[in-house]
Amino acid sequence: MRLGLLVALAMLAFAANSVINRMALVDGAAGPASFAALRLFSGAIVLAALVRMRGRAIGRPTRAVGPLALLAYVLGFSFAYVSLDAGLGALILFGGVQITMFAGAVVRGEDVPLMRWAGGCLAFAGLVVLMWPGGRLTVDLGGAALMLVAALGWGVYSLVGARADDPLATTARNFVWAAPVGALPALLVWDGMSGWGAALAIVSGAVTSGLGYALWYRVLPQLPASLAAVAQLTVPIIAVAGGMLLIGEAISWRFAAAAGLVLGGVALSLCGPFRALR
């Protein structure tokens, strides 16, 4: 029960992060380079302060893959978001994450039950129902490529997190070492940021990204990679549901069908050898 609540809280943080990024980037409150830079630095400052309060040093990451994967995700996502249809971008992102994490599970020799494969496919079908763009679809190839980079980055970042011995310190190191490199695009070409955009970037970096990712690293060692992948498919559903609550929209048949498919897929994924849960 406790693990389930922590996973649900992490998914809520991810969904809030998605909404905040959309508010900043799509509405023009911040450019992708400036938003990504401030997001990373805000997360680094808050996480480093928390680690220091525990009397620990940040130190160097034992492997560069953590900061590099975080950079790939944050920069790829920010730049892709401003040129790619939001629905198509979500499908590319979550589809890529699923492939990356299921592949990682297989390479590690994880016992992935057939029901989890089926559950992942069913849940992703729910996202297609919800996110598929209406009308004529025009794909920005550059944006699609950047979103694939973001998907690979987040998938690898999550796979690495399964081996984090100290979730908070590991997340802090990733942000601290990624932040200076992540600021380079903004230093080379400043793309602007309003006060509202800066506030959104700080909240995204310090709370929904920094603390949210630390929580994700807290639960990942207790989850099979394949199950962690499927669980993340609930994020767009939570984000859309939150938007409906905030603006008072009625639940559409499309959302209801998509939510049923996604939640059904997650439930199906839980049917299998529970010995895989560590």
Please provide residue 53's backbone torsions phi and psi, each rounded to the nearest 5 degrees: -65, -25
- 244 vs 239, which has greater pLDDT? 239
Residue 276: per-residue pLDDT: 43
Residue 256 within any structural domain of the chain:
no
With respect to residue 262, please indicate whether it lies within any of the assigned structural domains.
Answer: no
Q: Is the pLDDT of residue 248 over 50?
A: yes
Inside any domain, residue 208: yes
What pLDDT does residue 87 have? 82
The tokens describing 257, both together, are 């069908």
Half-sphere exposure of 82 (CA within 13 A, CB side): 17
Does the structure show a pLDDT above 60 at 179?
yes
- String of DSSP letters for 193-229: B-HHHHHHHHHIIIIIIIIHHHHHHHHGGGS-HHHHH
In the DSSP assignment, the letter for residue 57 is -
Residue-averaged pLDDT of the chain:
89
In a domain, 70, yes or no: yes
Domain coverage including residue 192: 2-113+139-223
Task: Tell me, yes or no, whether 144 lies in a domain.
Answer: yes
Count of the separate structural domains present in the chain: 1
